Amino acid sequence: MKATARCTIVPPYLLVRLARLDDPRFAAAAEAARQSLLRDIPLREHRAAAHPLPPALAVRAGAARQRGRIDRSIWDAVGLERLPGRLLARAEGWPPTSDPAVNEAHDGLGETHTLFWTRFARDSIDDRGMPLEASVHYGRKYDNAFWDGERMVFGDGDGQVFNRFTLSLTVIGHELTHGVTQHTANLTYAGQSGAVNESMSDVFGSLVEQHARGQTTAEASWLIGEGLFTEQVQGVALRSMKAPGTAYNDDVLGKDPQPGSMAGYIDTEDDNGGVHLNSGIPNRAFYLVAEALGGNAWEAPGQIWYDTLTGGALGRRVDFAGFARATEAAAAARFGPGSREHAAVRSAWHEVGLGLSLPARAPSE
């Protein structure tokens, strides 16, 4: 039994705006947003007692395993809020079911595992073969998805503004990357370090999708949460890494508020100090590195960001300047000082307003 903060994909400011609607046409969506916000209070409710593994999973857990081998289990919460869920819907090696949310979650866990294992030799979230669990159909019309420190949890959306959250592969990759961050740099989820935390999840969430689709930097959408909005919303996704602030512009939800450079930095106490807002700045920097280098973003750009996350140089409360220095140091270490990759990283941070006076050295906390 423990209480932890949820790392959610939908920022609270978006749900707050939706919850305050008094338009009768969106009454159901407003109520769903209010209920979702109540579930997402940082000091969340105590989790239900651990559910025993079924025999098939218990055997796999106790047996010797091959490094890099995936072990997935998808649970069905059937509209309740007990985790992991009421029913085991699909386990590793089981065939697809008739439930699209179960299959999407299963496949998304697989694509995320594939990226981290094949490109970075990371053996699951903790690099020690951690089984990957997800719960679908959490709550009634729950407008979010989150990582709770142990598993992925998906809501079905309200049907008016949000679709089911398993629809987006970037959402699945994003939330599982919170687990990778938890087991590596363990960045404090507040202020600039929290925005770096969110950006890391956006970066690798996007790379999971690009890798699964075989998309180059030029071919990728660079959208986070594409497909989550229903046709009633004027918007394409929750966030755009390529052009922060352009993902949606809707009469109900308002305009995407993310800045793409330090010139638009938002100083706020809301949203854990703007973790979903100011993450647009490092997001844009990563995109600029990928654009400058071309080809596949999961190669040199992704490797630099992965080295930065896992290399031990980041303090838990690292700020944007410290993170920028760390990525420059990682690029220089892997590809050489003055290399094309190193130059691309320095240029990207300069363009978002963080490169003018950064020494080429690793940061300390």
Distance of CA 174 to the CA centre of its chain: 2
* Peptide bond before residue 84 is cis, with ω within 30 degrees of 0: yes
What pLDDT score does 22 carry? 86
Q: What percent of the chain has pLDDT over 90?
A: 81
For domain 7-182, give the fold. Answer: Elastase; domain 1 (3.10.170)
Question: What letter represents residue 279's amino acid?
Answer: S
Residue with tokens 């969340």: 44
Distance of CA 198 to the CA centre of its chain: 6
Tokens encoding 39? 């579930």
Question: CATH says 191-351 is which class?
Answer: mainly alpha
Instruction: Report strand pairing: 87-91 vs 7-8.
Output: unpaired
Quick check: helix, strand or coil at residue 18? helix
Domain with CATH 3.10.170.10 in the chain: 7-182
From first CA to last CA, the distance across the chain in angstroms is: 32
Q: Is the pLDDT of residue 50 over 70?
A: no
Q: Tell me the CA distances in angstroms from 218 to 221, 242, 346, one per residue in order.
A: 8, 11, 21
Instruction: Compute the distance between CA of residue 32 and CA of residue 37 in angstroms, rounded to an integer.
Output: 9
Phi, psi (deg, nearest 5) at residue 254 = 80, -165
**Across 241-265, average pLDDT:** 96
What pLDDT score does 141 carry? 95
pTM of this structure: 0.90
Instruction: Compute the distance between CA of residue 305 and CA of residue 342 in angstroms, rounded to an integer.
Output: 12
Residues 6+ apart with CB under 8 A from 58: 52
Q: What percent of the chain has pLDDT over 70?
A: 89
What pLDDT score does 44 carry? 36
pLDDT top residue among 107 and 57: 107
CA-CA-CA-CA dihedral for 251, 241, 204, 347, to nearest 10:
-160
What pLDDT score does 356 carry? 52
What pLDDT score does 63 carry? 53
**Across 245-268, average pLDDT:** 96
Q: Tell me the CA distances in angstroms from 283 to 13, 92, 156, 352, one per residue in order.
A: 19, 33, 27, 10
Domain with CATH 1.10.390.10 in the chain: 191-351
**Across 126-146, average pLDDT:** 96
Tokens encoding 268? 């706020």
The predicted-structure confidence for 259-306, as pLDDT tens digits, reads as follows 999 999 999 999 999 999 999 999 999 999 999 999 999 999 999 999
The predicted-structure confidence for 199-216, as pLDDT tens digits, reads as follows 999 999 999 999 999 999
Residues 6+ apart with CB under 8 A from 36: 10, 15, 139, 141, 142, 143, 144, 155
Average pLDDT of the chain to the nearest whole number: 90
Q: Which residues are identified as catalytic?
A: 175, 276
Instruction: Compute the distance between CA of residue 174 and CA of residue 156 in angstroms, rounded to an integer.
Output: 17
Instruction: Compute the distance between CA of residue 236 and CA of residue 248 in angstroms, rounded to an integer.
Output: 6
Residues 6+ apart with CB under 8 A from 27: 21
Answer whether 165's CB lies under 8 Å from 131's CB. Answer: no
Cβ-in-10-Å burial (0-12, 13-18, 19+) of 80 comes to middle
Q: Is the pLDDT of residue 172 over 50?
A: yes
Q: Is the pLDDT of residue 53 over 50?
A: no
The predicted-structure confidence for 94-105, as pLDDT tens digits, reads as follows 999 999 999 999
Instruction: Compute the distance between CA of residue 215 and CA of residue 142 in angstroms, rounded to an integer.
Output: 31
Instruction: Compute the distance between CA of residue 162 and CA of residue 172 in angstroms, rounded to an integer.
Output: 16
pLDDT top residue among 57 and 139: 139
